[in-house]
Structure 1
Amino acid sequence: MKHWRFFPILVKEEVLKNMDLSDRLSFSKCSKKCWNLLSRIPNHLDSFIIPNRYQISVDDFLTLMTCRKSTIHILKVDIESADDRDQVNQFLLKLNKVRGALKVKFLVMGVSPRYSEMHKKSIDSCDPSFIESIEIERLDSQEIYEHILKTPQWKNSRKVLLNLDFDGLLEVNINDFLHFKFINMKMEELSVDDAWKLVQVVRII
């Protein structure tokens, strides 16, 4: 628009707020001033998967998340290979440069046991004051599990879904779960003997 530059900032912000996300992204690429203006506007995404294969690019996602009031309902971290891990690492590095912790409501981690350390980095990337739910699809490291229990993200969440190995489950301290409103623990395999052990653990709890 010919007279766009003469509009007050508040008017420009209102115009942006009435755009959809794709239009906002297109606008942000027009100039540095346009990008700076978009960074003042909170954006709210339903979901994002990293590594990203089918949705908006990581750079576009970070542009939308630049404003610290921006939120994302579901962030899924899906790591099956070294390439996936490297992409997630790059994503987290860029994230720290752009804005720091993300306001993620539901964090879902589908991380291969070979890259268990990525659980730490993924959880630490989320704003502990905003997160409500943590889902860990596979976790077989007692060390990583104990680290997660100490994070403010874990302590502030109200819902947890865990897929632990059985030995790890036997070392669960019920005090670490008392603040949750919903708990779902999963195990891939369970023998009759281990099932009886689990019953005994539940009785103790």
Structure 2
Amino acid sequence: MSNAPEHCNDNGNDLPALDFHSPGRFAIHNPPTEGGEPAVRPEPAPFILGQHEPMEAASAPELLRSHALALIGQARRSLCLYTPDLEAWLYDQRAVGDACSRFLRAHPRNHLRILLRDSSLAVRNGHRLLRLAHQLPSNCQIRKLHPDYPADDLAYLLVDDCGLLLRPAPLLPAAQIHYQNRARVRQLQRQFDQAWNTSLSDPNLRSFLL
């Protein structure tokens, strides 16, 4: 005998079964948390390094990620990142980390150098570029700016000898992007190299990378 209850109305009559149709699956799109992954994986901007001469401007995080991907994905020799704190919202992204990893593994002479002011946030929260420096210490190096060095209050990414993602106000998600500006890249490369030569080994990074 079945123990299932019968479907009856108040008069004791059987009720007809409900005909239920599922609406199917639907997606839930939650906005990314600060410094987290974007809801949609970014695509590289459609500009060619060394050929596209007009300056591009971006004032939204997703656009900056798109340009960063395009620049890193076309790098052939060197990447130099000058940053206040490794800017997790821009560089601690899976697509960007994967692009940096492919670049460094493509040739043993390819290198990524990173100069930063403060590593505490990246060390506390974790960062893809820190893990990459741990995996490939000869090709990916991270150092701290000397506190007495007259550093500029800006952030930038130098790509080979012609590509540049320049952020004059690091607190704002805005940038000027150059795919072909050898003169400006050469100027910033000199400044970067001078700052690198006076930079320090960061104890926080040393313990993280061991």
Q: What is the TM-score normalised by the length of structure 2? A: 0.32
Whichever of the two has the greater Rg, that structure is 2
Q: What is the TM-score normalised by the length of structure 1? A: 0.32
Bigger relative contact order, structure 1 or 2 (CA pairs below 8 A, ≥6 apart): 2
